[in-house]
Amino acid sequence: MTEHPSTTIDDCRIISLEHHPDPYGTLTVAQNSSAIPFAIKRLYYIYDIPSDAERGGHSHHHEQRLLVAVAGCFDVKVCDGVSWRTFTLKRPSEALYIPAGVWRTLENFSAGSVVLALSSTKFDENDYVRDFDKFVKLKKNSD
Asked if 44 is part of the footprint of ligand TYD (rule: CB under 6 A), the reply reads yes
One character per residue 110-129, x = contact with ligand TYD (rule: CB under 6 A):
-------------x------
Across 46-62, b (16+ Cβ under 10 Å) vs e yields beebeeeeeebbbbbbe
Residue 47 lies near ligand TYD (rule: CB under 6 A): no
Nearer to ligand TYD, 44 or 84 (CB): 44
List, in sequence order, every beta strand (DSSP E) within 24-73: 25-29, 42-46, 55-60, 65-71
Q: Which is nearer to ligand TYD, 33 or 122 (CB)?
A: 122
**Mask 51-70, x = binds ligand TYD (CB under 6 A)?**
----xx-x------------
Q: How many CB atoms lie within 10 A of CB 18?
A: 13
CA 7 from centroid of its chain's CA atoms: 14
- Contact residues for ligand TYD (CB under 6 A)? 44, 46, 55-56, 58, 123
